[in-house]
Structure 1
Amino acid sequence: MGCSSCATGDDGQPRGCKNNGTCGTDGCNKLTVFDWLSNMAPAGGTKLFDCVEVRFKNSRKEFFRNTENLSLSIGDIVATQAESGHDVGMVTLVGELVKVQMKRKKVNHKDQELPKVYRKASQGDIDKWQKCRDREEEIKKRSREMAIILKLQMKISDVEFQGDGSKATFYYTAEDRVDFRQLIKDMAKAFGIRIEMRQIGYRQEAQRLGGIGSCGRELCCSTWLTDFRSVSTSAARYQQLSLNPQKLAGQCGKLKCCLNYELDLYLEALKDFPSQDTKLFTEKGIAYCQKTDIFKEKLWFSYKDDPANWHTLSKEQVIEVLEKNKKKEKVASLEEYAVENIVEEKVVFENVVGQDSLTRFDRPKRSNSKNRNRNKNRKQGNRKQQTNNKNNHGNNGQKPNKKQQSNNNQQDNNTNKSSNPNANKKRRNNKKRKPRNA
């Protein structure tokens, strides 16, 4: 779901990432913060805010104080202070916007006890960090096997190593309280590191792991959403959605956060809209509301005796009928107010595969009539020559005289000349021709 600081791939990049841009600017869309003050220099005589925002694996972000006055920019990998040892992360925000982010997350920017940035990470720090990242997937599998052997009702969803490799944090989800003291002892003995167990909710698990939602996009909680507000089933009712838990639930198993996005717009539209329980009194009988369309401002009613036959009315017509009913006046029928349903004609596309030839745009070949005439003349000349030879050989088995032979050859040449129209043409003397200029 991100680049080297948040992906779980072997090379630190998500699948399909071509590394086209500077991934230090959160090009992979993982809790991005747009620095709209980046092209503005500080006022004269003022210093940049000495705190920076650093992102670690997945969605974990923390604020650190730059006490060493390092020239840091977005995308730099830094070594930061930890409880014991140091951690390695990527700078995601610098300058005055860090103060805005700290105020938004209720962190005191004047607190001098904030953790510090030690230095820019060296190549040795980065190599050690990458080796620890490569071990995370294997250790997660082994820790799950240990939890299954101990029969603990918990799910270890993610493992995060500290930058120096001395500590690992295991994130898990569980419905009840879990006694994992024996599990910590077994993992510390097997892996040779300090172990920290941290329980998270199902929404935090989806935020850390990421994924693709039913809309085809990345999960909101793993890309930009940070505050999780409660979502109730009334949000689905106001938006006239079917209460199907499989469609309304996200990957975390809870109701989708996106149900709250358009809820305010629906509530505003429902203020001037008749309720779903409205009844219309007519001379034919009582009509009940079957369906409403808020944005088209239409309602569908049917009589109690004929529930299969629906009548479409606009919002203004329903309000008019309700006002008459308040005055104890009945309408003759709903057919007087019914709106004609205009059915849009669907464009039907015919299947024309195979009707047109694939060679319809090819140029037809020209018939070579000259070559045909030449071949005909040659065939006729050969036939005459064959008949003459037969006559010559048929003189009682005697050899022909030299005079007769020469006469026959002259006759054959004359026939060939007459049959070949190009025989009388003079041959070109290529020796006398001038060479062409190159």
Structure 2
Amino acid sequence: MGCSSCATGKDGLPRGCKNNGTCGNDGCNKLTVFDWLSNMALPAGEERFDCVEVRFKNSRKEYFRNPENLTLSIGDVVATEAAPGHDVGIVTLTGELVKVQMKKKKVDWGGEVLPKVYRKASQKDINIWHEARDKEPEVQKKSRELALALGLQMKLSDVEFQGDGSKATFYYTAEDRVDFRQLIKDMAREFGIRIEMRQIGYRQEAARLGGIGSCGRELCCSTWLTDFRSVNTASARYQQLSLNPQKLAGQCGKLKCCLNYELDAYLDALKDFPDQDVRIKTQKGLAACQKIDIFKGLMWFCYLDEPAAWHKLTVQQVNEIIELSKKRKPVASLEEYAAELLEDDNKDASYENVVGQDSLTRFDKPKNVRAKKKNKRRRNNSNRKRSKNG
């Protein structure tokens, strides 16, 4: 993420192209795709793929056909077909890689329903486009005031003007169904344009607006994550995480998508573990599991009548005790296995000085040994003189 026009200057301060994610080289855009086929020539007789990927505000990308075979490259501003009028966007991908992306997103490139690229945008088109984009914050503020006046339970999170300025799409989130017919009439009367309302989910809202997560990095949904998989609290339970909604929830208010990233590794590690609700039967009494360490393969058990005394066992030891219990040969107590594990830990805990036999004060200022010897001689001589005079 980042381009030459957004890089830092000589004084260390960011230059700032002020394009708000619409840089010409597509280097600082959201969900950008690196064209790794750009330097490869097509085989002889092979025609160039006639579809391009065009990016609009935030992370919205659509695919258009290039019927006029215009010479388009990444960063070109083009006027595309819209209903009604035309829209203005930036080309983010051309060539054979567009086909790969369309196949990934299940877009049919063989039909006639694919919209078209009209032309490269003229300076007049770009001026109208920028004027429409500049009006979006004020329109969003006014539309929120209209929604509050009508008492609608909805949040208008974003406004996107069409490139010709004749239409605006309002993205909103809501818990329940909202009757916004009166709101559309009021906004059409206030702004004098065509209005389209589009409901999005909370995750899609976070992806459109972007932000910084609790990890200190940009949100995954706004930079590279394109498929939103369901996340539930079971993912946190498998990873031994505290079920704290404030820590597990992202900026969208839902469970963080990153809870699924390491889930498969935890599930593989848990295959050898017995059920946490299992009760171990010994001659001393029943014991229940209190805690587990998944990657170290350890489990802590305590007797039901001694909940304060925990005994650390390995997964192999627990499975062995369970098998003996099934054979009606319960072990005497857990202390035997815990003692064996303690002896093994002491054997493995042998300390080796990898630094060597250096002193901790080896970097301190060396003391002047000669001066010490000289002072000692002076003291001895003075003591001898005093003894003779006395």
Place the TM-score, normalised by the shorter chain, in its bin: 0.7 to 0.9
* 1:330 CA displacement: 2.2
Mind listing any 5+ residue stretches in structure 1 that lack a counterpart?
Answer: 4-14, 346-355, 357-438
Q: Secondary structure at the match of 2:87?
A: strand
Q: Does 1:233 align with 2:228?
A: no
* 1:269 CA displacement: 1.6
Quote how far apart the aligned CAs of 1:62 are. Answer: 0.6
Give the corresponding residue for 1:107. Answer: 107
**Deviation string for 1:242-283 (max 9, x for gaps)?**
222222222222222222222222222222222211222223
Counterpart mapping for 1:158-169 below 5 A = 158-169=158-169
8 Å Cα contact 2:23/2:29 also seen in 1: no
Q: Partner of 1:171: helix, strand, or coil?
A: strand
- Measured after TM superposition, the shift of residue 285 of structure 1 is 1.8
Partners of 1:245 and 1:239 in 2: how far apart? Answer: 15
What is the match of residue 315 of structure 2?
315
Report percent identity of matched pairs.
Answer: 74
Aligned equivalents of 1:2, 1:136: Cα separation in 2: 25
Q: Take 1:168 and 1:292, find their aligned partners in 2: how far apart are those partners? A: 55
Aligned to 1:292: 292
Distance 2:278 2:15 in 1: 55
Q: Determine the C-alpha separation between the residues in 2 that align with 1:246 and 1:73.
A: 45
Matches within 5 A, 1:204-223: 204-223=204-223
Contact kept? 2:52, 2:64, Cα under 8 Å: yes
CA distance in 2, matches of 1:22, 1:325: 68
Q: How many residues align?
A: 335
Give the counterpart letter for 1:294 in structure 2.
I
Instruction: Letter of the 1:263 partner, please give it.
Output: L
Unaligned runs of 5+ in 2: 4-12, 352-363, 365-390
Match of 1:37 in 2: 37
1:53–1:92 Cα contact (<8 Å) kept: yes
Report the CA distance shift for 1:307/1:330 in structure 2 as closer, same or farther (over 3 A): same
2:185 match: 185
TM-score by length of 2: 0.80
CA deviation digits over 1:85-114, x for unaligned, max 9? 111111111111111111111111111231
What amino acid maps onto 1:99 in structure 2?
K
Q: 1:2 to 1:129 in 2, by over 3 A?
A: farther
Write out per-residue CA displacement over residues 168-194 of structure 1, whole angstroms, 9 at most, x where no aligned residue: 111111122222222212211221211
Q: Structure 1 residue 29: deviation in Å?
A: 5.1
**Alpha-carbon shift at residue 290 of structure 1 (Å):** 0.6
Distance in 2 separating the partners of 1:154 and 1:306: 54
Q: Greater CA radius of gyration, 1 or 2?
A: 1
How far, CA to CA, are the matches of 1:29 and 1:218 in structure 2?
12
Alignment of 1:193-208 (within 5 A): 193-208=193-208
What do you get for the CA RMSD once the two structures are aligned? 2.5
What code does the residue aligned with 2:79 have?
A: A
After TM superposition, the structure 1 = structure 2 runs for residues 253-292 of structure 1, keeping only pairs within 5 Å, are 253-292=253-292
Q: Which amino acid aligns with 1:334?
A: L
- Asked whether the 8 Å contact 1:170–1:197 carries over to 2, the reply is yes
Q: Summarize the Cα distance change of 1:17–1:223 in structure 2 as closer, same or farther, 3 Å threshold.
A: farther
Q: Distance in 1 between matches of 2:325 and 2:24?
A: 67
Shift of 1:227: 1.6
> 2:245 & 2:236 partners in 1: Cα distance?
11
The question of whether the paired residues in 2 share the 8 Å contact of 1:2 and 1:30 is answered with no
| Superimposed CA distance per residue, residues 374-428 of structure 1 (whole angstroms, 9 cap, x where no aligned partner) | xxxxxxxxxxxxxxxxxxxxxxxxxxxxxxxxxxxxxxxxxxxxxxxxxxxxxxx
Aligned to 1:373: none
Equivalent residue runs for 1:60-209 within 5 Å: 60-209=60-209
Q: Per the alignment, in what secondary structure is the counterpart of residue 204 of structure 1?
A: helix
SS at match of 2:92: strand
- 1:333-372 equivalences under 5 Å are 333-338=333-338, 339-340=341-342
1:49 aligns with 2:49: yes
Partners of 1:285 and 1:69 lie apart in 2 by 82
Could you tell me how far 1:25 is from its partner in structure 2? 4.6
Secondary structure of 2:273's aligned partner: coil
Instruction: Judge conservation of contact 2:22–2:29 (CA < 8 Å) in 1.
Output: no
CA contact (8 A) 1:298 1:313 kept: yes
Partner-residue secondary structure (3-state), 2:41: coil
CA contact (8 A) 2:53 2:91 kept: yes
1:246 paired with 2:246, answer: yes
| Aligned equivalents of 1:108, 1:292: Cα separation in 2 | 50
**Does the Cα contact within 8 Å between 2:171 and 2:197 map onto a contact in 1?**
yes
Secondary structure of the 2:309 match is coil
Q: Deviations over 1:139-179 (max 9, x none)?
A: 10011011111111111110000011111111111122222
CA distance, structure 1, for counterparts of residue 336 and residue 45 of structure 2: 78
Q: Is 1:173–1:199's contact at 8 Å kept on the other side of the alignment?
A: yes
How far did 1:284 drift? 2.3
SS, match of residue 108 in structure 1: coil
Letter in 1 for 2:293: D
Distance 1:34 1:157, change over 3 A: same
* Deviations 1:65-98, CA, capped at 9 Å, x for gaps: 1111111111111111111111111111111111
Which residue of structure 1 aligns with residue 378 of structure 2?
A: none
